[in-house]
Structure formats: C-alpha cells, structure tokens
A and B are shown apart, each in its own frame.
Chain A
Amino acid sequence: MEILAHRIPEVLPAAMSVAGCRHHFPLLRQWVNGKPLVYLDNAATSQKPQVVIDAMMRYYESENSNIHRGVHTLSEKATQAYESVRGKVAHFLNAASEREIIFVRGTTEAINLVAFSYGRKALGPGDEVLISALEHHSNIVPWQIACEERGAKLRVVPMDDRGELIQEEYAKLLTSRTKLVALTHVSNALGTVNPVREMIAEAHRHGIPVLIDGAQGVPHMPVDVRALDADFYAFSAHKMFGPTGVGILYGKAELLESMPPYQGGGDMIKSVTFEKTTYSDLPHKFEAGTPNIGGGIGLGAAIDYLNALDMKAVMAHEHDLLVYATEQLGGIEAVRIIGTAPRKAGVISFVMEGIHPHDIGTILDAEGIAIRTGHHCAQPVMQRYGLPATARVSFAFYNTKEEVDALVKGLHRVKEVLG
C-alpha cells in the first residue's frame, strides 16, 4: 500500500524513553525573553512533536484535496489518510467500532453535539442533567442552554475542600429525573482525577448515560472507553500533542444511532430533495461539511507518537514531577496550593499571599517561564475557594525537574519584586 506507507511517521522505537523525548518538540528549544523556555502551560495546550508537524505539512504539500467526494487520485489519497485516523482513534480508545468515532472541532464541540442532539431528544420539563463542581465552562454552559430550552434543571455534584467530588452526594443526586451525567475525567483547574469508572457504574445502576470530558485525560493516561463503560467520551487533539481545531466525540453506537443530526450540510446526507433528506449512517451523520482534514491527519500522527511512548513511564514521570513540584512550591513561604486531592494529574493551582496571579504570570514570563493565570475557564471552581483567579502550572512528559527548579527560582523573584 504505497499510499498509506508514508503516512506512518518516521520510525519510532517501540518504547521511547521519556527523557529522550524532549528533543522531538522543536518549540521547546527556543529562548523566551532571553531565557530558555520553561513551558508549564500544557493543560491549556501541549506542544507538538516534529512528526505531527511533518505529517500535516506533507498533507498540505502533496495530498491536499477534499475527501469523500472526488474520484481523482488526490481525493482518494486524502480520504484514505483521513479515514485511517478514525481507525487509529477507535483503537486508541479501544472503541468497539470506527462508527463510534466522530470528528469534531474539539472537546467543546463534542459536548455541544451531545447537549443539542441527545439533550434535545432526551430532556423534558422537570428532567435533570447532573454535572460536577469541577467542570470547565465547556461542560457547564452547553447543558445550561439545553436545560433552559427544554425546561430541565442542571444539578451539580459538590466537592470538598481538597477538590474531590463528594461521592455520597453524587449517589443522592442520581434520581429517576436524571437524564444524563456529564463529568470531567481530570479537572483542568485543580488536577483532580475523578473516579470516573466507579461514577459511571453508579449512574448505570440507575440506567443513566454518562459523558466524560476527557480533554485533560487522554494526554496523561491510557483511556479504554469500554473498560470505563463511558457512553460518550470527548477530547481535543491539541492537548495531546496534536493540532488545534480537531477533536473526537466517542459515543456508543446505539446511542449515536438514536440521536438526530447536530448540524446539517454536505457529507451527512444520503439523498436530498426539497421534500425530504435521508441522513448518512454513522459516523458521517454527525459530520456536516468539509472537516479539518489536515488537523485530522495531525491527530493521527499524534496518536502514533503516543502509542510509541511507554505510557507507564510517562505516568510515573509526570507523577514524580507533580510530587517534586508540590514539595518545592509548598516550601515557599506565601505559596498556598489550591486543590490537594490524593489522586491528581500533573496540575498545580496556587496563590501567593498578597500577590495577584497576573503579576506572578508576568514576572515568571520575564524569566522565560510560561504558566496560566486566571480562572481557567472554571469560574465555579474559583468561586468554591473564594478566589478570583489562581496561577497554574501543568506538566507534560517532556517537562523536567530542572524546569521545576527554574519555576521555584522564578517565584522567589516574584516575591523579590512584589514582596
């Protein structure tokens, strides 16, 4: 298969050592404000390995063409390249079938798709959608809109001071009125890893389907949607070393089949007359219009890259970084870490006594250190702690302890300037 052969990125060793991976990311070599870049904003977006950049460049240089409609050679090449990614994603998530993999713009669109397709069908007056206190705005607002439209109610699983969801309250909130549970796998603001497998099982005991926002999950741990028994699982390519503008909605086939289309247009139809349109089968029913073909191909390369990594080593390394950074930051007087759940991904939110997070961000930036400051699109989480904003560092496997040391030094500089 000459066509597909070059789609596979340059040969990667079966299990790459984590330490050796940093040089696969060209952006990380740069200097910012006269200092070597320390990129600690991975929960916002991750950097891209050369193989992802190359795969997209190759597509635009030699294969760019519209898919699913041309009989010419380029169109066939592009269609094959793009559709082969669907198979990679299905395998990556251990989905039962490629039909369960819907290409979308990102996690936000995936959740909107479910809210407006499934939500419109399933929700009625008095029904409830259950989300959690840890959600990103993208797993709050679509449900608010859908609930308002259908006369349904949004309910929220509360969390404790450590940033863990209170499971007893969750169990109480699952009732015959609950039509869907939507939960984040990993909190983007605090790093809490939710026990989604157990929570899904609990919802299923009441016959309630569950959507998992996996935007912060897939970059950090293997995800098996069948082991989790998730009904829907959403994620974005750009947080898992792929490009922006493309993401995936996984949905169980029987659920997706029961749902009306989300958007109408080309590519999602079998036939159109002015009297009646017949929709395509899964997955194309939910993919109106020309998709982000180059982005999809980039996602495929990112999955190949992740598959070549030893995920156990990745998780161990990120955990080491989290433990080390938590100790180091905890040792700085005036620093208070927000979110101290026992199970956390590589995210540390913190505040400094008397210093606003934006000032922390500006001074660290002058040291070449990129972190996120603000409400992290999770204002209810901030409100829970009575804070307008926090500073947040978030790790990827390419980060190092030396970078944590640079961060600590940078925070001392913050104290020096503003203390």
Chain B
Amino acid sequence: MSAVNELYQEVILDHNRSPRNCRPMPDATKSVEGFNPLCGDHYTVHVKMRENVLADVSFEGAGCAISKASASVMSSEVKGKTKEEAERLFRDFHDLVTGKVDADEGFERYGRLAAFAGVSEFPARVKCASLAWHTLHAALTSDDPRVTTE
C-alpha cells in the first residue's frame, strides 16, 4: 500500500465523509476552541462531564480530512471514559502519530486509533491529526477557552 493510501485509510475517509458527533451541545460543561493558524483548521470541542466521566463529547468546525476524521474518531472513542482514561488515549494517540510506536509490535492494541498510524509518515500533518485531541486535553485540564497548535 502506498504511503498516501496508508494515510487516507477507509476509517479516515469514512469519518471525513460522515463525521460522528459533529453537532452543537447547548448543555456542555466545557467548550474549547482549537485552531491551527497555519492552515486555518478550526474546531470547537464540547464536553459534558458527569462527575469524572465524559458523558458526552461532540465537535463543530471545519478542516482537512485528517483533522475532521480525527475529531470524529476521538469523540466516539472518549465518550463514556473517565478523564484519566481519555488522557491516556490522548497520549497513545500522540505516540502513534509521532511515530513513537514500533510498527513491528503492531497497532492492534490501539483499536480504531490505529487508523492514524500512517500520519507519522507525514510530519506536516501531525498537527492536523492532533488538533482535536489537544483541544479536548485543554477542555479537561485548563481554563483556557482557546488553544492553538503554534
């Protein structure tokens, strides 16, 4: 498979075409805007916390296929998880897209996130893939209503 096909896997194309949880959330407990000033990708991630659990997660905004699919997969993956579990997934995801995971070990344990392993071959696109995750991370850990990749 070529690097491009590795990058634009069916999971990513599917989530780009029909993103999940792409909707406003009027009763969100936290909403953070994430912005990549270099390319204009722009998402707002909404979280509804119930105690320590991410009871609902959604996003709105626009950007490239990689960033949109990533926001979509992320929202599905972290919903129902505890804050600590979500943060652990963020670290896993970050390791995956920055090439810190040995391909020989396989990506099975990363589940649907494994679709993003191909991003590590495209350093210019790592920020696209991680924008929504950084935004979620800010929603869970900081008071800042706005984050950028720069």
Question: Which residues of A approach B to under 8 Å, CB–CB?
Answer: 33, 355-359, 362-363, 366, 373-375, 382, 388-389, 417-418
Contacts and interface: CB of A to CB of B under 8 A. Distances in A.
A43 B124 CA distance: 20
**A-B pairs, 6 with minimum CB distance:** A388-B40, A356-B64, A358-B64, A366-B4, A359-B65, A389-B40
Given A382-B40, A418-B13, A358 B128 contact: yes
B115 to A, nearest CB: 15
Which has the most chain A C-beta neighbours within 10 Å: B13, B42, B64, B128?
Answer: B64
B79 interface: no
A358 B39 contact: yes
Contacts of B5: 417
Contact of A373 (B3, B7, B16, B39): B39
Nearest to A413: B4
A374 B39 contact: yes
B65 A374 contact: no
A379 to B, nearest CB: 8
A389 B38 CA distance: 10
Contact of A359 (B38, B62, B64): B64
A374 B4 contact: no
Interface of B: 2-5, 7-8, 13, 16, 38-42, 62-66, 122, 124-125, 128
Contact of B4 (A356, A362, A375): A362
20 contacts: A33-B3, A358-B41, A358-B64, A359-B64, A359-B65, A362-B124, A366-B3, A366-B4, A374-B38, A374-B40, A388-B39, A388-B40, A388-B42, A388-B62, A388-B63, A389-B39, A417-B4, A417-B8, A418-B16, A418-B65
Nearest to B62: A388
A362 B129 CA distance: 13
A356 B41 CA distance: 10
A355 to B, nearest CB: 8
A362 B40 contact: no
B66 to A, nearest CB: 7
Contacts of A366: 2-4
A418 B8 contact: yes
Contacts of B66: 358-359
Contacts of B124: 362
Nearest to B4: A366
B125 A362 contact: yes
Contacts of B40: 374-375, 382, 388-389
A129 B136 CA distance: 42
B63 to A, nearest CB: 6
B103 to A, nearest CB: 19
Contacts of B3: 33, 366
Given A356-B65, A358-B128, 15 more contacts: A356-B64, A357-B39, A358-B39, A358-B64, A358-B125, A359-B66, A362-B7, A362-B125, A363-B4, A366-B2, A375-B39, A388-B39, A388-B42, A389-B39, A417-B5
B3 to A, nearest CB: 6
A388 B62 CA distance: 9
Contacts of B4: 362-363, 366, 417
Contacts of B42: 388
A349 to B, nearest CB: 14
A417 B7 CA distance: 10
Contacts of A358: 39, 41, 64, 66, 125, 128
Nearest to B65: A359
Contacts of B2: 366
Nearest to B42: A388
B5 to A, nearest CB: 7
Nearest to B13: A418
A357 B124 CA distance: 13
Contacts of B8: 359, 363, 417-418
A382 B40 CA distance: 10
Contacts of A375: 39-40
A415 to B, nearest CB: 12
Contacts of A373: 39
A97 to B, nearest CB: 42
Which has the most chain B C-beta neighbours within 10 Å: A362, A382, A389, A417?
Answer: A362
A389 B125 CA distance: 15
Contacts of A417: 4-5, 8
A356 B63 contact: yes
Contacts of A363: 4, 8
A36 to B, nearest CB: 17
B132 to A, nearest CB: 15
B15 to A, nearest CB: 13
